Amino acid sequence: MSNASRDRRTVCVIPGDDAAPEGVNASLRVLLSLGLPIDWDVLPIGAELAELDVAERERFVHDRIDAADTCLFGSTNGTTPGATYMRWGRRTYANVRPVRWRPGFRSPLAQPDGIDYVIVRENLEDAYIGVMGDAEALRASGLIGPKARLVWEGEGRFAVKVITRPGTEAVARFSYELARKRRGKLTVSAKTNMLPKTDRYFCDIVREIGAEYPDVAFEQYIVADMAHRLVLRPHGLDVLLLPNLYGDVLSDEAAATLGGMGLAPSGCYGDDYAYFESAHGTAPDIVGQGILNPTGTLLSAVMMLEYLGFTDAARRVDDAVSAVYAAGEHIPPDQGGTASTDAFADAVLAALG
Ligand code: ATP
């Protein structure tokens, strides 16, 4: 292989379902304009993939994911496969969701200026391991001891929450490394008081790993207090590490403090793979209206460019997004403006110069 071809990267672009492809297409126009040494492998939208049966669809998408260095993913309503594979199959254990207010974002907070932190959500375990069942089976298992507080006798369901030491150590080290590159502070939060076996264990391991990072300040809060602090005292945060379920919920709350889901980027990182997707869902209620805010997807693409080593290009796009919001002329409807998805992308292209 020549040096020239080694320098090229392949990005698998999965537009996804409902309105998600609108954000991906707008972002792709910006990305293509950068003229980077990237081969873009753009897959069909979910409605077209649906012509294949489920097994064929999965094989097709997984093969294309495996043939690329990384992936820019829209969002799925279940039709487009790939997300589960990239998450659990490729073990992307750290879901990184930056929370940074920029002038022009329509925050509901009185003083959003200066909010700039990153949520790292453990991405593989906790209540998302997919072990669920009938309460009767749980009773029969003998796992419910005399101190259990299950008071009702009747029909019910359960879901298992598991925190492992290797999974927690991996995401803890990832978070400390990230804090080291930022302002040197790690906050961890979980329901330590009610769930000592899992949540205190998680926080204790994170604290323990902190011994390897004496230069990083450490703090810990109970997750209910954390939810409160994200609204009332978000400015002091730098890196906030949360177990999976709390991370899922609090990162949407954090996005709301900036101005909403349309603004929220995300990247999922493992030891040898990462993929990038906006934090919002497929927004089926606005499909085809041209009003989807592509900012979350575009800023996810910025994270992807950084991951691929195109740091200058990433900075340029990031600055262009900030410039469009600061200018205030081409603001998407969810942020109080009238700019269509394409008009916003055009404004970003113009700001790139
Ligand atoms: P999921 O369960 O996959 O998260 P959802 O329908 O619950 O899907 P979203 O798709 O994120 O959640 O949509 C929630 C609301 O936010 C919808 O009214 C949607 O139109 C709106 N929304 C989401 N993303 C955007 C966006 N990028 N621009 C504008 N509105 C958006």
Backbone angles phi, psi at 277, to 5 degrees: -155, 150
Indicate which atom in ligand 1 lies nearest the CA of residue 283.
10
Closest atom, ligand 1, to C-alpha of 263 = 27
Report pLDDT for 59.
98
Quick one: 148 exposed, middle or buried, by C-beta within 10 A (0-12, 13-18, 19+)? exposed
Does domain 1-98+264-353 correspond to CATH entry 2.30.30.180? no
Residues with C-beta less than 6 Å from any ligand 1 atom: 23, 75, 261-262, 280-283, 285-286, 292-293, 296, 334
Say if residues 216 and 179 touch (Cβ distance below 8 Å): yes
pLDDT at site 4 = 45
Q: What integer pLDDT is reported at residue 353 of this predicted model?
A: 83
Closest Cα to atom 22 of ligand 1: 283
Delimit the CATH 3.40.50 region(s) of the chain.
107-126+162-258
Q: So what's the pLDDT on residue 70?
A: 98
Dump the DSSP string for 223-288. Answer: HHHHHHHHHHSGGG-SEEEE-HHHHHHHHHHHHHHHT-GGG---EEE-SS-EEEE-SS---GGGTT
**Ligand 1 atom nearest to CA at 282:** 10
Query: What is the distance between the alpha carbons of residues 152 and 269, in angstroms, rounded to a whole number?
Result: 41
d(CA 91, CA 251) in angstroms, rounded, equals 20
CA distance 14 to 346: 22
Amino acid at 255: A
Q: Which atom of ligand 1 is nearest to the CA of 76?
A: 3
Q: How far is the CA of 298 from the centre of ligand 1 (A)?
A: 16
What pLDDT does residue 7 have? 83
Query: In CATH, what class is 107-126+162-258?
Result: alpha beta
Mean pLDDT split into 10-residue runs, the chain, 353 residues: 65 98 98 98 97 97 98 97 98 98 98 98 98 95 91 95 98 98 98 97 98 98 98 98 98 98 97 96 97 98 98 98 98 98 98 93
Give pLDDT, residue 6.
60
Fill in the amino acid letter for 332.
P
β partners of residue 240: 119, 187
* Rounded-to-integer distance, Cα 50 and Cα 43, Å: 12
Delimiting residues of CATH 3.40.718.10 domain(s) in the chain: 1-98+264-353
C-alpha distance from residue 184 to each of 121, 213, 219, 240 (Å)? 18, 10, 12, 11
Rounded to the nearest angstrom, the distance between the alpha carbon of 286 and the centre of ligand 1 is 9
Considering only CA atoms, which residue is closest to atom 31 of ligand 1? 262
